[in-house]
A = this chain, B = another copy of it.
Amino acid sequence: VGLHQPKRRVRAPAITRHALLQAAYATIHRLGFQAASVDDIVEESGVTKGAVYHHFADKAALGYAVVHEVVRVMMLDGWLGPLDEPGRDPLTALQGALRQRAERHTAVEIKLGCPLNNLTQEMSTLDEVMRGAIETTLAAWSRGFALALERGQAAGTVRRDVDARKIATFLVAAIEGSYGIAKGARSRALLRSNFETLAAYLEGLRPGSRRGPGLPARGH
């Protein structure tokens, strides 16, 4: 009785910090930023509160770091990564990504929604710094799409009479909106349907396309 051995004491700041970021990311994704208490994150990460406030000035700073170091990387890797594969035109790559996404997500992921979108709606009016971090991520994402489309235009795989940047921001909005609606309806079918519609829309961006930007064919 009374023998509760002291904690691990491993002295590995980088690992501790990383564990903290991951736990914070997961908890915030699950509960939202405000509902995720520091104690929740502490429990999830296995480190102590003292460590949290050693590595981060306050809960907000932890949140910023999560956006910059976890969410941003995750989003850009996930959506811009597929566009970098050589030998594939951007439209095909994007369509492939959309198709994969809807299926690959677990049920809970669909239920939890896109972490970036969640944070945007919850926090961007409450914390200007976090909004900045979010905006930076959104801008990088959109710019990645725009650059890919412009490369496609230069290579002749994307119609040249469209505004690549405008389409890029629309894509981001439509993707986030789809995640958002699917979260609200808790429905993978909805996410899939919207991603299909978006893929069809992309089809219309190909140079030869007659009827133009695709429309979802009748009868599912």
Contact = CB atoms under 8 A, between A and B. Distances in A.
A192 to B, nearest CB: 10
A109 to B, nearest CB: 11
Interface centre among A30, A124, A125, A190 (most CB of B within 10 A): A125
A174 interface: yes
Interface in A161-220: 161-163, 166-167, 169-170, 172-178, 180-181, 183-186, 190, 193-194, 196-198, 201, 204-205, 209-220
Contacts of A14: 2
A121 interface: yes
Interface in A118-138: 118, 120-122, 124-126, 131, 134-135, 138
What secondary structure prevails in chain A residues at the interface with B? helix
Nearest to A123: B32
B169 A173 contact: no
A152 interface: no
**Counting chain B CB atoms within 10 Å of each CB, which of A32, A161, A181, A213 scores highest?**
A181
A24 interface: no
Interface in A5-44: 14, 30-32, 34-35
Contacts of A183: 120-121, 124-125
A26 to B, nearest CB: 13
B181 A176 contact: yes
A205 B215 contact: yes
Contacts of A180: 117, 120-121, 173, 176-177, 180
